[in-house]
């Protein structure tokens, strides 16, 4: 009879592989707080992100691997996650931020802000601590789509306190100017505003800070890349060729500023605009394809109401697509870290 020990349990758990990181969960350091007492085994699986799309499968596989051991009468597996930061120590951002990622496009009107809010809320629902920085200062739509009114307040330490909706912290110039007042800033003023949003907002502890970028490849994109090391960018496009031409410029811009591309998502896919162009672009540039979001009135109505579709219509095809997107984005970030590649390299 083989004695049930920590060593035999760990040996059994080596058979469980993370399908994305291509290593076993013991080598990856996922197994924590292992205790063996008589026939009882208890341990924690600490994953790299709470939005891991295969977390329940890994938990079940780990349970079954140990339960199959001789003498194992009761197996308890707890599931948790710890997002490791890609930012250098001693950075002067306004909080303890794990990853800064941009949602970008080559042109306006492709649903970039809709993607941002649904991605953020989906990550938050999965258990991540999330913030949104609205960098689209000339067309700040985050307050409307997140249902946020009023102005942010100042904290005792002099920092700006972000506003919170649906579990997500947000900051937007849309909450700082009067409705209808145009924002007419030149490049240096835009740069300074982004710097303040990054460094003078009391973000607290965040796993992901998602930056909603303005359309195009101009000052905001350059400034953001100069101000903070980005973990990556999600590139949003629509199926028609005119959108794909612009998104290819956005991909080129990401490479120029040394921002990794996490993948391409095709928005508003369906009969009116066609389908498949986003996937073809991803394949042409050897980039991950993050999925297709179908065109549906529920998405627009949800944006207008201030409640993203992942909350207002959670069983809809669009909501499920955004939840899948969140898992894939989190997975791509974890993969880049596990490969131990410089995060600033494309």
CATH topology of domain 95-338: Rossmann fold (3.40.50)
- Considering the chain, tell me which residue range(s) the CATH 3.30.300.130 domain(s) occupy: 6-81
- Kind plus residue range of the DSSP H or E element containing 212: strand 204-212
Please, which residues have CB within 8 angstroms of residue 273's CB and are 6 or more apart in sequence?
238, 239, 240, 295
Query: Residue 143 has what pLDDT?
Result: 92
Percent composition of the chain: helix, strand, coil (DSSP 3-state, to 5): 35, 25, 40
Query: Residue 245 has what pLDDT?
Result: 76
Tell whether pTM > 0.85. yes
Closest to 86 (Cα-Cα) out of 75, 100, 76: 100
Q: Give dist(CA 63, CA 61) in Å, integer.
A: 5
Question: The sheet that has 95-104: what strands, in order across it?
Answer: 163-165, 168-172, 130-134, 204-212, 95-104, 232-237, 261-269, 289-294
Ordered mean pLDDT values, 10 residues apiece, the chain (346 residues): 87 94 92 94 95 93 95 95 83 85 82 94 96 88 92 81 96 76 66 88 94 79 86 85 72 85 84 71 88 84 90 94 95 80 36
Phi, psi of 334 (to 5 degrees): -65, -40
Query: Residue 48 has what pLDDT?
Result: 92
For residue 43, count CB atoms less than 10 angstroms from its CB and return exposed for 0-12, middle for 13-18, buried for 19 or more.
buried
Architecture of domain 6-81: 2-Layer Sandwich (3.30)
- Kind plus residue range of the DSSP H or E element containing 236: strand 232-237
- Considering the chain, tell me which residue range(s) the CATH 3.40.50.300 domain(s) occupy: 95-338
Cβ 43 vs Cβ 35: under 8 Å: yes
Instruction: Give 72-88 pLDDT, tens digit per residue.
Output: 999 999 999 999 888 87
């Amino acid at each position: 009879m083989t004695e049930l020990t920590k060593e035999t349990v760990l040996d059994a758990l080596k058979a469980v592989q993370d399908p994305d990181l291509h290593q076993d969960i013991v080598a990856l350091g996922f197994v924590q707080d292992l205790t063996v007492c008589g026939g009882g085994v208890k341990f924690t699986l600490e994953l790299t992100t709470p939005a891991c799309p295969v977390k329940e499968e890994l938990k079940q596989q780990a349970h079954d691997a140990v339960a199959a051991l001789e003498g194992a009468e009761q197996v308890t597996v707890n599931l948790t996650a710890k997002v490791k930061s890609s930012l250098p120590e001693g950075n002067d951002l306004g909080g303890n931020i794990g990853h800064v990622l941009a949602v970008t496009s080559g042109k306006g009107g492709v649903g970039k802000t809709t993607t941002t809010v649904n991605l953020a809320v989906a990550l938050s629902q999965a258990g991540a601590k999330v913030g949104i920085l609205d960098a689209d200062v000339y067309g700040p739509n985050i307050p409307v789509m997140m249902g946020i009114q009023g102005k942010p307040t100042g904290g005792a330490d002099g920092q700006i306190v972000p506003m919170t909706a649906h579990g997500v912290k947000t900051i937007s110039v849309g909450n700082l100017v009067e409705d209808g007042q145009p924002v007419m800033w030149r490049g240096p003023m835009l740069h300074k505003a982004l710097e303040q949003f990054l460094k003078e907002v009391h973000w607290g502890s965040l796993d992901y800070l998602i930056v909603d970028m303005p359309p195009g490849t101009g000052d905001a994109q350059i400034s953001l890349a100069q101000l903070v090391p980005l973990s990556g960018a999600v590139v949003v496009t629509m199926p028609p060729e005119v959108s794909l031409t612009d998104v290819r410029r956005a991909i080129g811009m990401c490479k120029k500023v040394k921002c990794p591309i996490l993948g391409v998502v095709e928005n508003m896919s369906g009969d009116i605009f066609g389908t498949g162009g986003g996937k073809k672009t991803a394949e042409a540039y050897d980039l991950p394809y993050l999925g297709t979001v179908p065109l549906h009135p529920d998405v627009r109505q949800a944006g207008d109401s201030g409640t993203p579709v992942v909350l207002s219509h959670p069983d809809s095809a669009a909501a499920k697509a955004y939840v899948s997107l969140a898992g894939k984005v989190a997975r791509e970030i974890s993969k880049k870290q596990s490969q131990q590649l410089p995060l600033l390299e494309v």
